Amino acid sequence: MSAVSIPDLPPAPGTAWLFPGQGAQHVGMGKDLYERAPAARAVFDAADAALGFPLSTLCFEGPEDDLVRTVNTQPALVVHAIAALVAAIEAGAVRGRPDFAAGHSLGEYAALIAAGAVSFEEGVRLVRERGRLMQEACDAVPGTMAAVLGLEPGPVAEICAAHGAALCNINAPGNITIGGTLAAVEAAGKAATEAGAVRVIALAVAGAFHTPLMESAAAGMRTVLEAAQFSSPRMPVVSNVTARLLTSANELARELTEQITSPVRWVDSVQTMVDGGVTTFIEFGPGKVLTGLVKRIAKGAVTHNVATADDATAALEAAAR
C-alpha cells in the first residue's frame, strides 16, 4: 500500500491541476513544506524510502552539483510538486478534484500520480530511471536546445527539418523550443533569425530532450514502463504527445515512452482543457512557468501557484469550489 495517498475529492468543475517539468530547483527546495506540512513531510519520507537514498537531504542541503544532475532533478521536481499538492489539500486550500490534470514533460508523471494512475512510490522510481536513461543518452550523443521566439510551429518545423534539428516544446504562441546536435541547433537558430524570429536563446540543458537523440532512453523506458502497474486515472490526464485525453491504464506505458522523443504540445494541451470548460489553473511545484504560459494561451484564465507552505495555506476558494 502506498504511504502517499491523493484523496478522491469531490468534483471542482472548471479547474485543472498543472505540474511542471522544470522549475527553480535549488538547494532548500521543498524544505518549508517538509517542516510545516505533515502531509508533505510524508511525501518526502516516502520518496526517500522508495529510492533507497535520502533525496530529501539532497533537496534541502545539497550539494547543488548533485541536485542538478538529471537523475536527481527529475524525482526532486516530481516529489516537490506532489508535496505541494498534498499540503494544499491538507490545508483546505484545495478541496475539489479538477476536470483535468496535465504535466509538461516530466510533469506528466506527477499528473498521473495526482490522478491515481500510478502509485507515488512507483512513479518516483520511474522518473529516477527516466533521468538516468536520459543522462546516458545525453552523454552518448551530446545535444542542446534553444528557444525560438516570434515564429509559429509550421515555419520552425520546416527550418528544423532542413537543418537536422527537431521541435521539442510548443509552449505558447511564438514560443517554441528546438533541439538536436549543437551544429544542427546552431544552424536552425541562424535560419530562424533570418526568417524573422525575434530572438533565439540558447538554453542551458543537459541534452536535446524530446528529440530523436533520446531514442536510447525511450527504448530503455519502454521495457521499464511495460512492467509498471498503472490504473485508469480518476480524472483525464492531457497527453503531451497528442493533447488528447488519457483515460485508460492501457494507454499510459506507450504515452510515457513516446513523450521522451516527441514534442510537448503544450499550446494544444491547454486549449483542450479550455475547450473542456476550464477557467482556473493551479500549478503545483517550483516556479510559475506553466501558469505564465497559460496566461499567453488562454486570455482571462485564472491562475494560482503552490510551491511553498505559505502558498499551500493561501486562499484558493475560487479554484476549490
We report the CATH number of the domain holding residue 154 as 3.30.70.250
Count how many domains the chain has.
Answer: 2
The answer on 175 and 238 residing in a single domain is no
Of 203, 234, 254, the domain-final residue: 203
Of 203, 220, 240, the domain-final residue: 203
Mean pLDDT of 12-31: 89
Residue 1: per-residue pLDDT: 60
The answer on 88 and 49 residing in a single domain is yes
Decide if 5 is inside a domain. no
Q: What is the 3-state secondary structure (H, E, C) of 198-252?
A: CEEEEECCCCCCCCHHHHHHHHHHHHHHHCCCCCCCCCCEECCCCCCEECCHHHH
Annotated catalytic residue within 56, 80, 104, 105? 105
Residue 210: active-site member: yes
What is the residue range of 191's domain?
143-203
Residue 231: active-site member: no
Instruction: Tell me the three cell numbers of residue 104.
Output: 509538461
The answer on 196 and 163 residing in a single domain is yes
Of 203, 221, 240, the domain-final residue: 203
pLDDT, tens digit, 9 for 90 and up, residues 183-220: 999 999 999 999 999 999 999 898 999 999 999 999 99
In the DSSP assignment, the letter for residue 15 is E
In the predicted model, what is the mean pLDDT of the chain?
94
The answer on 118 and 40 residing in a single domain is yes
Mean pLDDT of 138-159: 97
Q: What percent of the chain has pLDDT over 90?
A: 89
The answer on 259 and 293 residing in a single domain is yes
The answer on 153 and 295 residing in a single domain is no
pLDDT, tens digit, 9 for 90 and up, residues 63-121: 999 998 889 999 999 999 999 999 999 999 999 999 999 999 999 999 999 999 999 99
The answer on 48 and 188 residing in a single domain is no
We report the CATH number of the domain holding residue 79 as 3.40.366.10
pLDDT, tens digit, 9 for 90 and up, residues 239-264: 999 999 999 999 999 999 999 999 99
The answer on 262 and 189 residing in a single domain is no
Residue 5: per-residue pLDDT: 86
Decide if 33 is inside a domain. yes
∠ Cα 307 9 50 (to 5°): 60
The answer on 309 and 161 residing in a single domain is no
Annotated catalytic residue within 80, 104, 163, 210? 210
pTM of the predicted protein model: 0.96
